A and B are shown apart, each in its own frame.
Chain A
Amino acid sequence: MSAQPQSRDTAARRWRGGYAVLYLAFLYVPILVLPVFSFNDSIFVSFPLKEFTTKWYAQLAGQPALFDALANSLKVAIFSAVFSTLLGIFAAKAMTRYRFPLQRPAFALVMLPLVIPEIILGLSLLIMVNRIGLSLSLYTVSIGHVLLCVPFAVAVLLSRFEGFDRSLEEASLDLGESAWMTFWRVTFPIVFPGIVSSLLLTFTISFDEFIIAFFLTGSETTLPVHIWSQLRFPQRLPSVLALGTLLLVASTLLIILAEWLRRRGIQPDKQPDM
């Protein structure tokens, strides 16, 4: 009635707006430092900014060790993505399609790595690998990454499998298709977007994972470990920033793609109100 409630309303809105801006700044300003200094013509990361340059990016091309590390990381990430997604499919299917004793505790155990500190995971894996007598290699890194990625894969796939109506498969069987053709013509197309987004997400997680890779890596290093080792040399820092910028862009694109696929996949399932 009076103007008071309304002005209080705008004040509240202003506060909320301010909070949102601060929050976003807190999140993204540090990340933005990376691209900004990667174009700065100085080996020191400090203000004021100097000339604009792309020479740090050019310098990246002349580092064979970096490309080896990149190739290693791709290998590990692809392996981890495929394997953890596969395991995730089994787990999600078990969670949504069947009822068995100790289902909930089993599920909790599958998701537990989400909350175990990575440093603990890395350390315990290292001890384990040493006890068994495996030598550290890209394989050990991959195993660690699968462990880390499975809960993420399960989380993504679960939403997909939960929305999947069991009677669709029965309808397909009823219409004369075999179990295999039913999987191929019904189950797979419907859960496919979920599988793709799980692959993309786990790929990204593995690709930029540092702690576990650091513990479990042998003579061949992954990209994040390589980058970390480069930080000892101050003159290499700007090119590391350039590399970081490229990775940042690539990861962001991948995640956007994954999310887009996930949403696109969910939409057709929406049942119109009857």
Chain B
Amino acid sequence: MANSDAFIDIRAVSKRFGSVTAVDGVDLAIRQGEFFSLLGASGCGKTTLLRMIAGFEMPTEGDILIDGQVMTDVPANRRPTNMVFQNYAIFPHLTVRDNIAYGLRKDGLPRADLDRKVDAALEMIKLSGYGARRSTELSGGQRQRVALARALIKRPKVLLLDEPLGALDKKLRETMQLELRQIQDEIGITFVFVTHDQEEALTMSCRVAVMAQGRVMQVATPRELYETPNSRAVASFIGTMNFFEATTKGIEGERLLLDAQGLGGIAAPVPGWQVNGKAVVAIRPEKLQLSLDRPQGEVSAAQGTILNSTYLGDRSHFHVRLDGVEAPIAVSAQNVERSMRDDLDDGTPVWLSWRDTAMVVLPG
């Protein structure tokens, strides 16, 4: 699988620890200057894949190329990558300054140049004046920034980040997400960012690889991942999704005819995969409309009852019971008017409606 535009080219890479397969036949082509995220639940092999790119683990099978060079025999200290560790790995016996300057020893810079570089790095991470501090006297967010500066000062071709924001509280995390994005935009280095937080992956990345059990399920832009997931696993991992078991009835022009549990006979856009009888129809909560009367016009509709509702200020969440569907259907509605949906008490019979384009048909 030769990718001409792949800056980091991961070819059929597997990693086994004894009987555990941590990474299972992964192919990935990461482009130069891209903010690329590896997203997946705990234990799905994100860290292992990242460590193989960094050179801390050897692939059991397959090759990793960076900038056209095979990395297999290149040790970690010779690779054009730098890493921000999950726990930051700040050297406890060194000051902030010495931590940041750590990787520059080999360059043999004159003292003045070195100082200038470190000063610039301190400024970038907004820690000017903290240089003489012991690195143990820093807060979590500050440590994270020192780890970032220490890696970036080496001007790597690739920056690897292993859940760098995992240890921070929500507020600080959002600030750091913005800062990271800004820094990446400015310096244009390829970032490979590991996270298990789908929101973080979607807001920050150019493209995301969704992983599960050592495999890559889908590689796509955040929008594509959300709007056209390629499997039930990806669809349920990214955001909330309603699923309806369905059987296919045939294709009519651009449309696939299905019989879906709870929805009845419907026609959805033809999916990109080979349809063979069984399928799952998926609809996002915000793409479903609630109404008391049967809606008119170019929409499909199904009748159900309100199970419960949650008022969230800008929008409200509802759970609706549909006949023939076991799981309650999640519906999200924008509260564009003040007194909207006051009439939707629990137990109210309602109509659910949606456009045909709201449906995604997934392999069953």
Binding site for B on A (CB under 8 A): 165, 167-168, 170-178, 185-186, 189-190, 268-272, 274
Question: Which chain B residue lies CB-closest to A182?
Answer: B77
**B139 and A175: CB pair below 8 A?**
no
Decide yes or no whether B154 CB sits under 8 A from chain A. Answer: yes
Query: B50-102: which residues lie under 8 A (CB-CB) from chain A?
Result: 54-56, 75-78, 81-83, 85-87, 89, 91-93, 102
Partner of A174, one of B77, B137, B140, B143: B77
**B93 and A268: CB pair below 8 A?**
yes
Decide yes or no whether B150 CB sits under 8 A from chain A. Answer: yes
The A/B interface has a contact count, at CB < 8 Å, of: 76
For A185, list chain B residues within 8 Å (CB): 102
A175-B102, A175-B154, A176-B106 are known contacts. Are A170 and B136 too (CB-CB below 8 A)?
no
**B54 and A174: CB pair below 8 A?**
yes
Decide yes or no whether B138 CB sits under 8 A from chain A. Answer: yes
CA distance A271 to B135 in the complex (A): 9
**A271 and B136: CB pair below 8 A?**
yes
**A170 and B139: CB pair below 8 A?**
no
Min distance, Cβ B203 to any Cβ of chain A, angstroms: 22
A170-B89, A190-B93 are known contacts. Are A177 and B77 too (CB-CB below 8 A)?
yes
Interface 0/1 of B24-35, CB less than 8 Å to A: 000000000000
CA distance A238 to B207 in the complex (A): 85
CA distance A270 to B83 in the complex (A): 23
27 pairs of residues in contact across A and B, judged by CB atoms under 8 Å: A165-B87, A167-B89, A168-B89, A170-B56, A171-B89, A171-B91, A173-B55, A173-B75, A174-B76, A174-B77, A174-B82, A174-B151, A175-B102, A175-B151, A175-B154, A176-B78, A176-B106, A177-B77, A177-B102, A177-B103, A177-B105, A190-B92, A268-B92, A268-B93, A268-B136, A269-B92, A274-B167
**A173 and B168: CB pair below 8 A?**
no
Most chain B Cβ neighbours within 10 Å, of A167, A171, A274: A171
Q: How many residues of B contact A (CB 8 A)?
A: 33
Query: Which 3 pairs show the lowest CB-CB distances between chains A and B?
Result: A274-B140, A175-B103, A171-B89
Min distance, Cβ B192 to any Cβ of chain A, angstroms: 14
For B140, list chain A residues within 8 Å (CB): 272, 274
CA distance A29 to B154 in the complex (A): 63
**A176 and B136: CB pair below 8 A?**
no
Decide yes or no whether B117 CB sits under 8 A from chain A. Answer: no
CA distance A75 to B317 in the complex (A): 80
Main secondary structure of the interface of A (DSSP, over half): helix
Decide yes or no whether B134 CB sits under 8 A from chain A. Answer: yes
A167-B85, A168-B91 are known contacts. Are A176 and B168 too (CB-CB below 8 A)?
no
A274-B140, A274-B167 are known contacts. Are A178 and B77 too (CB-CB below 8 A)?
yes
A167-B85, A190-B92 are known contacts. Are A172 and B54 too (CB-CB below 8 A)?
no
CA distance A186 to B83 in the complex (A): 17
Question: Which chain B residue lies CB-closest to A189?
Answer: B93
CA distance A190 to B136 in the complex (A): 13
CA distance A171 to B150 in the complex (A): 10
**B92 and A167: CB pair below 8 A?**
no
A165-B87, A176-B103, A176-B106 are known contacts. Are A272 and B82 too (CB-CB below 8 A)?
no
For A173, list chain B residues within 8 Å (CB): 55-56, 75-77
Partner of B89, one of A165, A269, A270, A274: A165
Query: B274-308: which residues lie under 8 A (CB-CB) from chain A?
Result: none
Question: Which chain A residue lies CB-closest to B134?
Answer: A268
Query: B103-152: which residues lie under 8 A (CB-CB) from chain A?
Result: 103, 105-106, 134, 136-140, 143, 150-151
Most chain B Cβ neighbours within 10 Å, of A167, A170, A274: A274
For B137, list chain A residues within 8 Å (CB): 272
Partner of A176, one of B77, B134, B138, B167: B77
CA distance A160 to B176 in the complex (A): 33
Query: B311-364: which residues lie under 8 A (CB-CB) from chain A?
Result: none
Question: Which chain A residue lies CB-closest to B56?
Answer: A170
For B102, list chain A residues within 8 Å (CB): 172, 175, 177, 185
For A271, list chain B residues within 8 Å (CB): 136
For A178, list chain B residues within 8 Å (CB): 77
